[in-house]
Amino acid sequence: MGVPPYISPYPRYIAGAIWTHSPQTQILYQTIDQLREAADETRSSWTHAGAVMLIAGMIVPGKYIGGTPISVREAREFFSAPESAGIPKLLVGPWARFGCGLEGGRFALGSDVLSPPFDYIVRGDAEIVIGRAAEDGWDFSAVDLDETRGSPQDISEYAVRGSAIVEQHPGHSMGYLICEIETYRGCPRYVSGGCSFCIEPLYGLPAQREPEDIIREIESLYNHGVRAFRIGRQADLFTYGSTEMGETEFPTPSPRIIESLFSGIRTVAPKLQVLHIDNVNPGTIAAHPEESKAVARIIMKYHTVGDVAAFGVESLDPEVKKRNNLKVTQEEAVTAIRILNEVGGQRPDWELPHLLPGINLLYGLPGESKRTLEYNMEFLRELVTEGLLVRRINIRQVIRFPGTPISRGEKGRLRHSEFIRHKREIREQIDQVMIARVAPLGTIIRSVYPEQREGNVQLLRPLGTYPLLCHMPMGQEVSEAADVFVVDHGPRSVTVLPFPFLPNRASMAQWKVVPGIGDKRAASMKSSGPWHDSQHMEERLSMELPSWFKRCLSFEPG
């Protein structure tokens, strides 16, 4: 994840490789949106550079609020500028290694489409290749561009030394920054071939970092001002540390190793604000329920609330599962969701639940048909009927990367219009029910940050894994991290007001979104203050205010 407020390991490892072997080298790190905003100024600075590197690539298609990933057209345009003539230009990251995935439902373009303007396509591990170049006098023609890590220990020093680069991130100064942390790469299901579409098996058997190395990296990031972390750079966090890795596709979790990692993080980052996770294989939980419960409880002991374990369910169609070697049946998926709900569904008073599953559904896979949509809806309706909680449902179309089994297989047989209709059905029938369960009226969401403004509405989000998008009418505004509470639900977002809510400072637009108030009462509330207490308000409104709303009120002067 490199779209702000995230910063991925790529720039941190690369910076660390450079500073390990060439400590005096100056590095300028910018996001693509910063380049867009000041393209001429930035490119003029390239005339003094020894090299220019583009880290690019979107393995998982999606829409982002914090920024917009670079396009192939922009890459050609920006890096063909006269200012960069004669300067070595390197393409690194997923685009270089796996091809240029542009959007779901399409084949990825080969990375050679960007040669030129790029002189070097780094298909190996960028930090290793660039570290070699830094050692050898920056002669990129003399290094192996396909070189990869020999072991996870190869990046131990790079991860620590490169942490200083976070201070150049645009969100660093306001604290709106979360670091993605790698525990291992490769997939435990490599032994059975892995999912047909996934690039993780291309790395081979899982290569796990030592807990001590991860903790050192987080300590260094913390010392450079980072207060939010996502342990999300792995196929299945619950299997981290398992001694059965590489022996079976569903290794038994190791609660002891998970405990050592998370307790160590809390020791070196005592005042962190966010500690979340990401990918968890539902097949692991279904196969090892007791060990998985133990791991979930350990994570909850050290993490922060509102956490999400992303379940790669992909498809509940048995034919699609078979053709693409997917992880779980419908029964196993529901079992995994039940188990995580049992442990992680707890919530502090009036706050978000501790740890919930998120579901990934993927379309465009071989074996797909109209029946696939029915299987998936049947599964989702079962969750609703059973009263289970799911934080979010990602509905994506597969990107076909060269080297994956799906790149050689047939495409799914769904029309685009059928996919769009199905997606809308999930949003209307499932998502809104789930979001109302996850964040009931009056739920307090801590430390949201302003993202942008749309008309008379502020868009806010907390830091974290799949954070809730919050819409707030303008009035009593949020200019920095602040707490809010929920007053309404949409399919993918919530409407919020500041917590505590100050009636004597609220705008009419903010009054209007309080359930039961409406336009006429909102106008009355705005013009009839000041208010002294909730009883005074109820008398004026001729209605009883909901108890959840009254507990969010504060009657400070003003």
| Strands of 186-278, DSSP E | 207-208, 228-233, 274-277
The amino acid at 34? Q
393 CB-contact burial (10 Å; exposed 0-12 / middle 13-18 / buried 19+): buried
pLDDT at 536: 81
Alpha-carbon gap, residue 41 to 92, rounded angstroms:
23
Please enumerate in sequence order all residues whose Cβ is within 8 A of that of 257, keeping only pairs 6 or more positions apart, or say none. Answer: 211, 240, 241, 242
State how far Cα 364 lies from the chain centre. Answer: 22
Alpha-carbon gap, residue 288 to 305, rounded angstroms:
24
Q: What is the CATH number of domain 171-438?
A: 3.80.30.20
pLDDT at 388: 98
Q: Residues 164, 20: contact at Cβ < 8 Å? A: no
- SS3 at position 80: coil
DSSP assignment of 346-385 = ---TTS--SEEEEEEEEES-TT--HHHHHHHHHHHHHHHH
Show the 3-state SS of 427-476.
Answer: HHHHHHHHHHHHCCCCCEEEEEEEEEEECCEEEEEECCCCCCEEEEECCC
Alpha-carbon gap, residue 348 to 26, rounded angstroms:
46
Start-to-end CA distance of the chain, whole Å, equals 43
Alpha-carbon gap, residue 153 to 95, rounded angstroms:
25
Q: Residues 180, 232: contact at Cβ < 8 Å? A: yes
pLDDT at 558: 45
Conformation bin of residue 492: beta by default, left when phi > 0, alpha when psi is -120 to 50: alpha
Domain ranges in the chain are 9-147, 171-438, 444-550
Task: Map tokens 């609660």 to a residue.
Answer: 255
pLDDT at 380: 98
Alpha-carbon gap, residue 30 to 191, rounded angstroms:
39
542 CB-contact burial (10 Å; exposed 0-12 / middle 13-18 / buried 19+): exposed
Q: Residues 358, 310: contact at Cβ < 8 Å? A: yes
Please enumerate in sequence order all residues whose Cβ is within 8 A of that of 453, keeping only pairs 6 or more positions apart, or say none. Answer: 459, 474
- Which has the higher per-residue pLDDT, 185 or 98? 185
pLDDT at 97: 87
Q: pLDDT class for 425, splitting at 50, 70, 90?
A: very high
What are the respective helix, strand and coil percentages of the chain, to the nearest 5? Answer: 40, 15, 40
Nearest Cα residue to 89 out of 56, 41, 40? 56
Q: pLDDT class for 551, splitting at 50, 70, 90?
A: very high
C-alpha angle 279/343/222, rounded to 5°?
50
Mean pLDDT across the chain: 91
- Which has the higher per-residue pLDDT, 538 or 489? 489
- Which has the higher per-residue pLDDT, 291 or 137? 291
Q: pLDDT class for 410, splitting at 50, 70, 90?
A: confident
Give residue-wise pLDDT tens across range 33-74: 988 888 788 778 888 889 999 999 876 656 677 678 888 888
Nearest Cα residue to 10 out of 104, 99, 97, 117? 97
Task: Map tokens 């994570």 to a residue.
Answer: 299
Please enumerate in sequence order all residues whose Cβ is within 8 A of that of 280, keeping only pairs 6 or more positions apart, or say none. Answer: 236, 237, 238, 309, 310, 311, 357
pTM of the model: 0.94
Is it the case that residue 406 has pLDDT exceeding 80? yes
Alpha-carbon gap, residue 152 to 204, rounded angstroms:
13
Residue 184's H or E segment, with its range, is strand 184-185
H helices of 170-229, in order, are: 211-223
- SS3 at position 293: helix
Alpha-carbon gap, residue 170 to 174, rounded angstroms:
8
- Look at the chain and count its residues: 558
Q: Can you say whether the dihedral through the CA atoms of 528, 533, 539, 545 is positive or negative?
A: positive
Q: pLDDT class for 104, splitting at 50, 70, 90?
A: low
Which tokens hold the place of 352? 């978000």
Is it the case that residue 102 has pLDDT exceeding 70? no
Give residue-wise pLDDT tens across range 238-279: 999 999 998 999 999 999 999 999 999 999 999 999 999 999
pLDDT at 399: 82
Task: Map tokens 């913390």 to a residue.
Answer: 222
Which tokens hold the place of 500? 């505590």
Residue 9 preceded by cis peptide, ω within 30 = no
Percent with pLDDT over 70 in the chain:
96
